[in-house]
Structure 1
Amino acid sequence: MSSFASISPDKLNRLIGTPDRPVLIDVRTADDFSADPRLVPGSIRRCAEDAPQWSQDFTGRAVIVICQRGAKLSHGAAAWLRVAGAPAESLEGGFEAWKAAGLPLVPVDKLPQQHDPAGRTVWVTRARPKIDRIACPWLIRRFVDPQAVFLYVAPSEVTAVAERFKAMPFDIETTFWSHRGELCTFDVMVEEFGLTTPALQRLATIVRAADTARLDLSPEAPGLLAASLGLSRIHDDDLTQLEAGLGLYDAFYRWCRDATSETHNWPTNKVKP
């Protein structure tokens, strides 16, 4: 049973991917991190011994701290965070317990190595998004970098903007993060980021079907396509559309994870004449 200041891997896994997830801070030592350079989805790296300084950045925010085994480093850093006014817990059993449970881990070498001055990853793609260019930012925000920035630009300028502004291009031909064969960019990101959970694989099928006009692949795809095209008509600004689309994918993800067996029908308990 978890103590008041710790959270089990299973419970944390239920929070990851949701809009109200806590901040995840990985404080493993450099040696432990080098031995397995992967992260619990959405984690940021910090040095445990520097917690008295960086803890102030998280005042008022719920935080989960992750060290190698859920012992002194995470407990100490979490205590400093609580001193700074952040409700903080440590991951029970740490990184080793998470890995032993077979839960998703994101390879660091797949993450953009360049960040903006605020420490955020920056991504760039074509303007006027419909499916993939909303689905991929949702995946990144929920499972890779919650603070990620997305630039929508003219299709002809994506590559040049990526080079000039040190951004990662996606959903554009000849780039790493793009369609591969029958897979759409969302499929590729789910696989490359090590996020092949049943729920995300189910969602990836829906996204692929809607994005590649193969609606027969998933009975839910026409609904996603209709909602996505509707959002693109409602919003002239791409970033406003993105914010609206995040809620759409939150709902599809929770259905994929928790509600696929649930049905609904009009009540039939009417009084018979």
Structure 2
Amino acid sequence: MSEPTGTADPAVPAGPASIEEVLDRARTGLRRIGPAEARRAAREDGALLVDIRYQQQRERDGTIPGALQIERNELEWRLDPRGSHKIPEATDHDRRIVVFCNEGYASSLAAASLQQLGLHRATDLEGGFQAWREAGLPVEH
């Protein structure tokens, strides 16, 4: 059997990666935004704010008014504009989407995954819901 002749992608490590390395790679393709910019994007530019936190976290801490609540395991299925299980707000690949989790870690991975679907304006909220709340922005209980 002969050795493969193609070259490996230098952006992908040859061996196993730690979650920190995976997170760093995911974030290289994102222009992460803070709470004030996320609020402005939703209010002025029609960006979708998407809450991927667990229901228990939303019940405990509250929610961001107007944010869509989509469980992480359904995210790509619901936001793929060509998908059979898309939500009505998943209108096209140019829609700006700001994903947030509790503290801004899982949301980075989720936003990178959305970019792989061609949702090139997907990003995440730096610091997550906790940063939004600490900034004194509106929260519903």
TM-score norm. by structure 1 comes to 0.35
Match of 1:9 in 2: 35
- Separation of aligned partners in 1, 2:118 and 2:69: 20
Report if aligned partners of 1:65, 1:89 keep a CA contact under 8 Å in 2.
yes
Question: What SS does the aligned partner of 1:103 have?
Answer: coil
- Separation of aligned partners in 2, 1:36 and 1:94: 12
Q: Mind listing any 5+ residue stretches in structure 2 that lack a counterpart?
A: 1-26, 82-89
Show CA shifts across 1:162-210 (max 9, x none). xxxxxxxxxxxxxxxxxxxxxxxxxxxxxxxxxxxxxxxxxxxxxxxxx
Residue number among 37, 51, 76 corresponding to 1:52 in the alignment: 76
Q: Mind listing any 5+ residue stretches in structure 1 that lack a counterpart?
A: 108-273
Residue number among 1, 14, 27 corresponding to 2:52 in the alignment: 27
Taking the TM superposition and a 5 Å limit, the aligned residue runs for 1:211-230 are: none
> Identity of counterpart residues, as a percentage?
31
Considering Cα pairs closer than 8 Å and 6+ residues apart, tell me whether 1 or 2 has the greater RCO.
2
Show CA shifts across 1:92-122 (max 9, x none). 0000010011111234xxxxxxxxxxxxxxx
Report if aligned partners of 1:51, 1:80 keep a CA contact under 8 Å in 2.
no
Taking the TM superposition and a 5 Å limit, the aligned residue runs for 1:227-238 are: none
Question: What SS does the aligned partner of 2:99 have?
Answer: strand
Residue 31 (structure 1) shift: 1.9
Aligned partner of 1:13: which letter?
Answer: R
Report if aligned partners of 1:70, 1:92 keep a CA contact under 8 Å in 2.
yes
Alpha carbon RMSD of aligned pairs, Å? 2.0
Show CA shifts across 1:237-263 (max 9, x none). xxxxxxxxxxxxxxxxxxxxxxxxxxx
Show CA shifts across 1:28-61 (max 9, x none). 112211212322x321100112223223133331
Residue 79 (structure 1) shift: 1.6
Question: What SS does the aligned partner of 2:80 have?
Answer: helix
- Separation of aligned partners in 1, 2:40 and 2:77: 30
Question: What SS does the aligned partner of 1:92 have?
Answer: coil
Give the direction of change, closer, same or farther, for the CA distance of 1:53–1:15 in structure 2 (3 Å limit). Answer: closer
Aligned partner of 1:15: which letter?
Answer: A
Residue number among 104, 128, 133 corresponding to 1:99 in the alignment: 133
Match of 1:118 in 2: none
Report the count of equivalent residues: 103
Question: What SS does the aligned partner of 2:102 have?
Answer: coil
Which 4+ residue blocks in structure 1 deviate beyond 3 angstroms? 2-5
